[in-house]
Amino acid sequence: MSGGTRSYEMARRMVAAGHDVHMVTSYRGDDKFGRDWLQSVEAGINVHWLPVPYSNHMNYLQRIKAFIRFAFAARRKAIALKGDVIFATSTPLTIAIPAVFAARKNKIPMVFEVRDLWPEMPIAMGALKHPLLKYAARRLEKWAYFNSAAVVALSPGMKRGVTDTGYPRSNVAVIPNSSDNSEFKIDLEMAREFRQKRPWLGGAPFLVYAGTFGRVNDVSYMVKLAAELKRIDSDIKILLVGDGQERYKILELAQEVSVYGYNLFFEEMIPKKEIPALLGASAMASSLFIDIVEMQVNSANKFFDTLAAGRPILLNYGGWMHALVEKNNCGLAVRGKPVSEVAATLDNVLHDDSWLRDAGLRARRLAESYFDRDKLADQLIAVLERAALGEQHDFSAIAPITYL
Protein backbone atom coordinates (compact mmCIF):
# COMPACT_ATOMS: atom_id res chain seq x y z
CA MET A 1 0.00 0.00 0.00
CA SER A 2 1.11 3.59 -0.48
CA GLY A 3 2.79 4.79 2.69
CA GLY A 4 3.58 1.24 3.83
CA THR A 5 6.83 0.84 1.95
CA ARG A 6 9.25 0.75 4.87
CA SER A 7 7.21 -1.66 6.98
CA TYR A 8 6.64 -4.02 4.06
CA GLU A 9 10.20 -4.01 2.75
CA MET A 10 11.77 -4.46 6.17
CA ALA A 11 9.29 -7.18 7.18
CA ARG A 12 9.85 -9.29 4.08
CA ARG A 13 13.59 -9.16 4.73
CA MET A 14 12.93 -10.35 8.29
CA VAL A 15 11.05 -13.28 6.79
CA ALA A 16 13.95 -13.99 4.42
CA ALA A 17 16.28 -14.01 7.46
CA GLY A 18 14.21 -16.85 8.94
CA HIS A 19 11.96 -14.97 11.34
CA ASP A 20 8.22 -15.52 11.84
CA VAL A 21 6.68 -12.09 11.29
CA HIS A 22 3.16 -11.00 12.21
CA MET A 23 2.17 -7.49 11.17
CA VAL A 24 -0.76 -5.80 12.91
CA THR A 25 -1.96 -2.95 10.75
CA SER A 26 -4.97 -1.10 9.40
CA TYR A 27 -6.89 -1.47 6.19
CA ARG A 28 -7.32 2.14 5.12
CA GLY A 29 -9.88 1.81 2.37
CA ASP A 30 -13.62 2.19 2.75
CA ASP A 31 -15.55 0.16 5.29
CA LYS A 32 -16.92 -2.44 2.88
CA PHE A 33 -15.18 -5.23 4.78
CA GLY A 34 -16.96 -4.32 8.00
CA ARG A 35 -15.18 -3.77 11.28
CA ASP A 36 -13.66 -7.18 12.01
CA TRP A 37 -10.06 -8.33 11.61
CA LEU A 38 -8.93 -9.83 8.31
CA GLN A 39 -5.85 -11.95 7.74
CA SER A 40 -3.62 -12.54 4.72
CA VAL A 41 -0.08 -13.62 3.92
CA GLU A 42 1.96 -11.07 1.93
CA ALA A 43 5.48 -12.12 0.85
CA GLY A 44 5.61 -14.51 3.81
CA ILE A 45 4.39 -11.86 6.28
CA ASN A 46 1.31 -12.80 8.35
CA VAL A 47 -0.74 -9.62 8.05
CA HIS A 48 -3.60 -8.88 10.45
CA TRP A 49 -5.76 -6.08 9.03
CA LEU A 50 -8.29 -3.98 10.91
CA PRO A 51 -10.54 -1.87 8.65
CA VAL A 52 -10.00 1.72 9.80
CA PRO A 53 -10.90 4.34 7.17
CA TYR A 54 -8.08 6.88 6.94
CA SER A 55 -6.85 9.41 4.40
CA ASN A 56 -4.78 12.57 4.10
CA HIS A 57 -8.04 14.45 3.51
CA MET A 58 -9.03 13.92 7.18
CA ASN A 59 -8.48 16.71 9.67
CA TYR A 60 -6.31 16.13 12.75
CA LEU A 61 -9.26 15.28 15.03
CA GLN A 62 -10.55 12.64 12.59
CA ARG A 63 -7.06 11.14 12.32
CA ILE A 64 -6.62 11.02 16.08
CA LYS A 65 -9.95 9.18 16.43
CA ALA A 66 -8.79 6.63 13.84
CA PHE A 67 -5.47 6.20 15.65
CA ILE A 68 -7.15 5.63 19.02
CA ARG A 69 -9.66 3.13 17.62
CA PHE A 70 -6.81 1.16 16.06
CA ALA A 71 -4.65 1.37 19.20
CA PHE A 72 -7.17 -0.33 21.48
CA ALA A 73 -8.08 -3.05 18.97
CA ALA A 74 -4.41 -3.70 18.16
CA ARG A 75 -3.63 -4.14 21.86
CA ARG A 76 -5.89 -7.20 22.07
CA LYS A 77 -4.56 -8.62 18.81
CA ALA A 78 -0.89 -8.17 19.77
CA ILE A 79 -1.44 -9.81 23.17
CA ALA A 80 -3.03 -12.83 21.48
CA LEU A 81 -0.17 -13.19 18.98
CA LYS A 82 2.54 -13.27 21.69
CA GLY A 83 6.03 -13.49 20.06
CA ASP A 84 9.63 -12.90 21.17
CA VAL A 85 9.83 -9.16 20.54
CA ILE A 86 7.37 -6.41 19.62
CA PHE A 87 8.34 -3.81 17.04
CA ALA A 88 6.15 -0.69 17.07
CA THR A 89 6.69 1.76 14.23
CA SER A 90 5.29 5.28 14.54
CA THR A 91 3.69 7.66 13.41
CA PRO A 92 1.33 8.01 15.08
CA LEU A 93 2.67 8.07 18.62
CA THR A 94 -0.47 6.23 19.79
CA ILE A 95 0.99 3.07 18.21
CA ALA A 96 2.99 2.76 21.45
CA ILE A 97 -0.19 2.09 23.44
CA PRO A 98 -0.96 -1.43 22.13
CA ALA A 99 2.74 -2.26 21.88
CA VAL A 100 3.65 -1.38 25.46
CA PHE A 101 0.62 -3.14 26.98
CA ALA A 102 1.18 -6.27 24.87
CA ALA A 103 4.88 -6.30 25.76
CA ARG A 104 4.07 -6.04 29.46
CA LYS A 105 1.29 -8.64 29.34
CA ASN A 106 3.44 -11.18 27.48
CA LYS A 107 6.67 -10.22 29.31
CA ILE A 108 8.61 -9.59 26.11
CA PRO A 109 10.76 -6.61 25.05
CA MET A 110 9.59 -3.84 22.75
CA VAL A 111 11.53 -1.82 20.17
CA PHE A 112 10.00 1.52 19.21
CA GLU A 113 10.67 3.15 15.82
CA VAL A 114 10.34 6.93 15.46
CA ARG A 115 9.49 7.88 11.86
CA ASP A 116 8.43 11.44 12.73
CA LEU A 117 8.94 13.46 15.88
CA TRP A 118 5.57 13.44 17.61
CA PRO A 119 4.26 15.48 19.35
CA GLU A 120 6.69 18.17 18.09
CA MET A 121 5.18 18.21 14.60
CA PRO A 122 1.45 18.56 15.49
CA ILE A 123 2.41 21.18 18.09
CA ALA A 124 4.44 23.13 15.52
CA MET A 125 1.58 22.91 13.00
CA GLY A 126 -0.97 24.12 15.55
CA ALA A 127 -2.90 20.84 15.67
CA LEU A 128 -2.20 20.45 19.38
CA LYS A 129 -2.92 23.79 21.05
CA HIS A 130 -4.39 23.10 24.46
CA PRO A 131 -1.74 22.96 27.23
CA LEU A 132 -3.24 19.77 28.67
CA LEU A 133 -3.13 18.02 25.28
CA LYS A 134 0.48 19.08 24.80
CA TYR A 135 1.35 17.81 28.27
CA ALA A 136 -0.41 14.48 27.68
CA ALA A 137 1.29 14.04 24.31
CA ARG A 138 4.74 14.68 25.75
CA ARG A 139 4.06 12.24 28.59
CA LEU A 140 2.98 9.62 26.05
CA GLU A 141 6.16 10.24 24.04
CA LYS A 142 8.40 9.74 27.08
CA TRP A 143 6.36 6.74 28.23
CA ALA A 144 6.85 5.10 24.81
CA TYR A 145 10.62 5.57 24.88
CA PHE A 146 11.20 4.48 28.45
CA ASN A 147 9.16 1.30 27.96
CA SER A 148 11.42 0.32 25.03
CA ALA A 149 14.49 -1.90 25.13
CA ALA A 150 15.75 0.12 22.15
CA VAL A 151 14.57 2.97 19.94
CA VAL A 152 15.12 3.23 16.19
CA ALA A 153 15.24 6.80 14.86
CA LEU A 154 15.07 7.61 11.15
CA SER A 155 17.51 10.52 11.24
CA PRO A 156 20.23 12.00 13.45
CA GLY A 157 17.85 14.84 14.36
CA MET A 158 15.18 12.39 15.45
CA LYS A 159 17.76 10.72 17.68
CA ARG A 160 18.44 14.09 19.32
CA GLY A 161 14.70 14.49 19.87
CA VAL A 162 14.56 11.10 21.60
CA THR A 163 17.64 11.62 23.78
CA ASP A 164 16.48 15.12 24.78
CA THR A 165 13.85 13.34 26.89
CA GLY A 166 16.62 11.70 28.91
CA TYR A 167 16.48 8.36 27.10
CA PRO A 168 19.99 6.78 26.85
CA ARG A 169 21.91 7.61 23.64
CA SER A 170 23.39 4.10 23.49
CA ASN A 171 19.87 2.64 23.19
CA VAL A 172 19.07 4.62 20.03
CA ALA A 173 20.03 3.29 16.58
CA VAL A 174 19.70 5.62 13.59
CA ILE A 175 18.36 3.68 10.57
CA PRO A 176 17.05 6.09 7.90
CA ASN A 177 14.59 5.35 5.17
CA SER A 178 16.23 3.33 2.45
CA SER A 179 17.03 3.15 -1.23
CA ASP A 180 15.64 0.15 -3.12
CA ASN A 181 18.56 0.07 -5.50
CA SER A 182 17.64 -2.99 -7.55
CA GLU A 183 13.99 -1.94 -8.01
CA PHE A 184 14.85 1.63 -8.97
CA LYS A 185 17.66 0.98 -11.41
CA ILE A 186 16.75 2.98 -14.51
CA ASP A 187 14.95 1.08 -17.28
CA LEU A 188 15.22 3.26 -20.38
CA GLU A 189 12.40 1.45 -22.16
CA MET A 190 10.01 2.03 -19.23
CA ALA A 191 11.07 5.68 -19.15
CA ARG A 192 10.39 6.07 -22.89
CA GLU A 193 6.95 4.48 -22.52
CA PHE A 194 6.14 6.86 -19.66
CA ARG A 195 6.94 9.88 -21.82
CA GLN A 196 5.14 8.51 -24.90
CA LYS A 197 1.91 8.19 -22.90
CA ARG A 198 2.17 11.90 -22.04
CA PRO A 199 2.54 13.82 -25.31
CA TRP A 200 2.36 17.14 -23.47
CA LEU A 201 5.89 16.45 -22.22
CA GLY A 202 7.31 16.54 -25.72
CA GLY A 203 11.08 16.45 -25.59
CA ALA A 204 11.34 18.89 -22.68
CA PRO A 205 13.04 18.03 -19.38
CA PHE A 206 10.69 17.77 -16.44
CA LEU A 207 10.89 18.09 -12.69
CA VAL A 208 8.65 15.78 -10.66
CA TYR A 209 7.13 15.84 -7.20
CA ALA A 210 5.54 12.54 -6.14
CA GLY A 211 4.00 12.45 -2.69
CA THR A 212 1.45 13.90 -0.31
CA PHE A 213 -0.26 17.24 -0.88
CA GLY A 214 -0.51 18.17 2.79
CA ARG A 215 -0.05 21.31 4.85
CA VAL A 216 3.53 20.39 5.73
CA ASN A 217 4.56 19.55 2.17
CA ASP A 218 4.59 23.06 0.68
CA VAL A 219 3.66 21.82 -2.81
CA SER A 220 2.52 25.36 -3.63
CA TYR A 221 6.24 26.05 -3.99
CA MET A 222 6.04 24.26 -7.34
CA VAL A 223 3.32 26.61 -8.55
CA LYS A 224 5.54 29.61 -7.79
CA LEU A 225 8.45 27.89 -9.52
CA ALA A 226 6.31 27.10 -12.60
CA ALA A 227 5.21 30.76 -12.79
CA GLU A 228 8.82 31.91 -12.70
CA LEU A 229 9.88 29.35 -15.34
CA LYS A 230 7.07 30.62 -17.54
CA ARG A 231 8.21 34.22 -17.02
CA ILE A 232 11.75 33.41 -18.24
CA ASP A 233 10.32 31.42 -21.17
CA SER A 234 11.82 28.09 -20.08
CA ASP A 235 10.56 24.89 -21.70
CA ILE A 236 10.89 22.94 -18.41
CA LYS A 237 7.74 21.12 -17.30
CA ILE A 238 6.72 20.25 -13.74
CA LEU A 239 4.66 17.17 -12.90
CA LEU A 240 2.90 16.82 -9.53
CA VAL A 241 1.83 13.27 -8.65
CA GLY A 242 -0.20 12.42 -5.56
CA ASP A 243 -3.12 13.35 -3.36
CA GLY A 244 -3.87 15.03 -0.08
CA GLN A 245 -5.75 17.73 1.77
CA GLU A 246 -4.17 20.62 -0.18
CA ARG A 247 -4.43 19.17 -3.70
CA TYR A 248 -7.42 21.16 -4.91
CA LYS A 249 -6.14 24.35 -3.32
CA ILE A 250 -2.84 23.96 -5.21
CA LEU A 251 -4.67 23.14 -8.46
CA GLU A 252 -6.75 26.30 -8.11
CA LEU A 253 -3.62 28.35 -7.43
CA ALA A 254 -2.03 26.94 -10.59
CA GLN A 255 -5.09 27.97 -12.57
CA GLU A 256 -5.03 31.46 -11.06
CA VAL A 257 -1.45 32.12 -12.18
CA SER A 258 -2.03 30.47 -15.60
CA VAL A 259 0.49 27.64 -15.32
CA TYR A 260 -2.00 24.74 -15.05
CA GLY A 261 -1.76 22.75 -18.28
CA TYR A 262 0.94 25.08 -19.58
CA ASN A 263 4.08 23.96 -17.75
CA LEU A 264 2.54 22.47 -14.60
CA PHE A 265 0.62 19.19 -14.72
CA PHE A 266 -1.18 17.02 -12.15
CA GLU A 267 -1.68 13.26 -11.95
CA GLU A 268 -3.30 11.03 -9.35
CA MET A 269 -1.22 8.92 -7.01
CA ILE A 270 0.44 6.00 -8.82
CA PRO A 271 1.46 2.59 -7.40
CA LYS A 272 4.96 2.25 -5.96
CA LYS A 273 5.91 -0.18 -8.75
CA GLU A 274 5.38 2.58 -11.34
CA ILE A 275 7.56 5.15 -9.57
CA PRO A 276 10.82 3.87 -11.19
CA ALA A 277 9.39 4.63 -14.65
CA LEU A 278 8.30 8.09 -13.46
CA LEU A 279 11.73 8.89 -12.03
CA GLY A 280 13.50 7.36 -15.01
CA ALA A 281 11.62 9.64 -17.38
CA SER A 282 12.28 12.76 -15.28
CA ALA A 283 15.36 14.97 -15.34
CA MET A 284 15.13 15.70 -11.62
CA ALA A 285 12.87 14.86 -8.67
CA SER A 286 12.03 16.92 -5.61
CA SER A 287 11.36 16.62 -1.91
CA LEU A 288 9.35 19.50 -0.45
CA PHE A 289 8.43 20.65 3.05
CA ILE A 290 7.65 23.89 4.80
CA ASP A 291 10.90 25.10 6.29
CA ILE A 292 10.39 24.76 10.02
CA VAL A 293 12.92 23.23 12.38
CA GLU A 294 10.63 20.31 13.27
CA MET A 295 10.49 19.22 9.61
CA GLN A 296 14.25 19.32 9.07
CA VAL A 297 14.71 15.98 10.84
CA ASN A 298 12.39 14.10 8.43
CA SER A 299 13.48 11.06 6.43
CA ALA A 300 11.35 11.23 3.29
CA ASN A 301 10.95 8.09 1.17
CA LYS A 302 10.93 10.17 -2.02
CA PHE A 303 14.45 11.42 -1.25
CA PHE A 304 15.85 7.88 -1.13
CA ASP A 305 13.84 6.73 -4.15
CA THR A 306 15.41 9.57 -6.13
CA LEU A 307 18.92 8.58 -5.04
CA ALA A 308 18.24 4.97 -6.02
CA ALA A 309 17.00 6.06 -9.44
CA GLY A 310 20.22 7.99 -10.02
CA ARG A 311 18.44 11.29 -10.46
CA PRO A 312 19.46 14.67 -9.00
CA ILE A 313 17.16 15.96 -6.29
CA LEU A 314 15.79 19.40 -5.42
CA LEU A 315 15.12 20.22 -1.75
CA ASN A 316 13.56 23.46 -0.52
CA TYR A 317 14.14 22.91 3.23
CA GLY A 318 17.10 22.64 5.57
CA GLY A 319 18.35 19.82 7.76
CA TRP A 320 20.46 16.72 7.39
CA MET A 321 19.28 15.85 3.86
CA HIS A 322 20.07 19.39 2.72
CA ALA A 323 23.58 18.85 4.11
CA LEU A 324 23.82 15.51 2.28
CA VAL A 325 22.92 17.10 -1.07
CA GLU A 326 25.41 19.92 -0.60
CA LYS A 327 28.19 17.60 0.58
CA ASN A 328 27.70 15.13 -2.28
CA ASN A 329 26.74 17.64 -4.99
CA CYS A 330 23.88 15.40 -6.09
CA GLY A 331 21.18 18.00 -6.69
CA LEU A 332 20.01 21.47 -5.71
CA ALA A 333 19.63 22.45 -2.06
CA VAL A 334 17.70 25.71 -2.42
CA ARG A 335 16.56 26.56 1.10
CA GLY A 336 16.09 30.30 1.50
CA LYS A 337 16.88 31.15 -2.12
CA PRO A 338 14.50 33.39 -4.12
CA VAL A 339 12.28 31.43 -6.49
CA SER A 340 13.55 33.56 -9.39
CA GLU A 341 17.12 32.39 -8.66
CA VAL A 342 16.02 28.76 -8.34
CA ALA A 343 14.16 28.94 -11.67
CA ALA A 344 17.21 30.38 -13.45
CA THR A 345 19.49 27.72 -11.97
CA LEU A 346 17.01 24.98 -12.83
CA ASP A 347 16.72 26.17 -16.42
CA ASN A 348 20.50 26.01 -16.66
CA VAL A 349 21.22 22.61 -15.06
CA LEU A 350 18.28 20.75 -16.60
CA HIS A 351 19.67 21.59 -20.04
CA ASP A 352 23.21 20.59 -19.06
CA ASP A 353 23.61 16.90 -19.91
CA SER A 354 27.01 16.73 -18.23
CA TRP A 355 25.68 18.13 -14.93
CA LEU A 356 22.64 15.87 -14.99
CA ARG A 357 24.76 12.79 -15.63
CA ASP A 358 27.36 13.57 -12.95
CA ALA A 359 24.83 14.63 -10.29
CA GLY A 360 22.79 11.50 -11.02
CA LEU A 361 25.83 9.26 -10.68
CA ARG A 362 26.70 10.87 -7.36
CA ALA A 363 23.11 10.36 -6.16
CA ARG A 364 23.24 6.68 -7.05
CA ARG A 365 26.64 6.29 -5.38
CA LEU A 366 25.20 7.77 -2.18
CA ALA A 367 22.29 5.31 -2.33
CA GLU A 368 24.60 2.33 -2.80
CA SER A 369 27.19 3.37 -0.22
CA TYR A 370 24.97 4.30 2.72
CA PHE A 371 21.26 3.77 2.18
CA ASP A 372 20.85 0.40 0.48
CA ARG A 373 17.69 -1.28 1.82
CA ASP A 374 19.38 -4.64 2.37
CA LYS A 375 22.16 -3.11 4.49
CA LEU A 376 19.77 -1.08 6.61
CA ALA A 377 17.40 -4.03 7.01
CA ASP A 378 20.31 -6.06 8.38
CA GLN A 379 20.89 -3.31 10.95
CA LEU A 380 17.23 -3.28 11.97
CA ILE A 381 17.15 -7.08 12.28
CA ALA A 382 20.29 -6.92 14.44
CA VAL A 383 18.57 -4.41 16.76
CA LEU A 384 15.50 -6.64 17.09
CA GLU A 385 17.53 -9.80 17.65
CA ARG A 386 19.63 -8.13 20.35
CA ALA A 387 16.54 -6.73 22.04
CA ALA A 388 14.84 -10.14 21.97
CA LEU A 389 17.78 -11.61 23.91
CA GLY A 390 17.06 -9.18 26.73
CA GLU A 391 20.72 -8.18 27.06
CA GLN A 392 22.19 -4.72 27.58
CA HIS A 393 23.75 -3.57 24.31
CA ASP A 394 25.09 -0.46 22.60
CA PHE A 395 22.39 -0.31 19.93
CA SER A 396 23.80 2.93 18.53
CA ALA A 397 26.92 1.01 17.43
CA ILE A 398 24.82 -1.24 15.17
CA ALA A 399 24.00 1.68 12.87
CA PRO A 400 26.84 4.26 12.92
CA ILE A 401 26.22 7.63 11.24
CA THR A 402 29.02 7.73 8.66
CA TYR A 403 27.32 9.70 5.88
CA LEU A 404 27.45 13.24 7.37
Q: How many domains does the chain have?
A: 2
Choose among 50, 43, 51, 31: nearest CA to 5.
43
Q: Say yes or no: 164 and 216 in one domain.
A: no
- Helix 353-370 × helix 339-349 angle, to 10°: 100
Give the residue among 203, 230, 169 at the shortest CA–CA distance from 396.
Answer: 169
Ordered alpha helix ranges (H), 175-297 = 188-196, 220-231, 247-256, 275-281
The predicted pLDDT at position 39 comes to 94
Q: Is residue 64 included in any domain, yes or no?
A: yes
**Residue-level pLDDT at 30:** 59
Q: Are residues 124 and 214 in the same domain?
A: no
By the 10 Å C-beta count (0-12 exposed, 13-18 middle, 19+ buried), 172 is classed as buried
Domain encompassing residue 170: 5-178+372-398
Please state whether the peptide bond connecting residue 119 to the residue before it is cis, i.e. omega within 30 degrees of 0: yes
pLDDT at 62: 75
pLDDT at 286: 98
CA dihedral 171, 177, 179, 183 (to 10 degrees): 120
pLDDT along the chain (404 residues), means of 10: 81 97 84 76 95 70 78 92 94 88 96 88 79 89 96 96 96 97 89 93 94 92 98 98 93 98 94 90 96 90 96 96 97 97 98 98 97 98 96 93 93
Residue 344 lies in a domain: yes
pLDDT of residue 54: 67
Residues 223, 290: one domain? yes
Do 344 and 376 share a domain, yes or no?
A: no
Same domain, 261 and 305: yes
pTM score:
0.92
Q: Is residue 403 part of a domain?
A: no
pLDDT value of position 291: 86
In terms of domains, do 112 and 209 share one?
no
Using DSSP's 3-state secondary structure scheme, residue 47 falls into: strand
Is the domain of 124 the same as that of 239?
A: no
- What dihedral angle (degrees, nearest 10) is formed by the CA atoms of 140, 141, 143, 145? 160
Q: Which residues contact 356 (CB under 8 A, 6 or more apart)?
A: 283, 284, 312, 349, 350
Residue 172 and residue 235 in one domain? no
Domain-embedded: residue 183: no
| CATH code of the domain containing 152 | 3.40.50.2000
Q: Are 390 and 301 found together in one domain?
A: no
The beta strand positions in 20-68, using DSSP E, are 22-27, 38-42, 45-51
283 located within any domain = yes
Pair 111, 216 in one domain: no
Residues 211, 360, single domain; the answer is: yes
Domain identity same for 377 and 272: no
Residue 404, domain member (yes or no): no
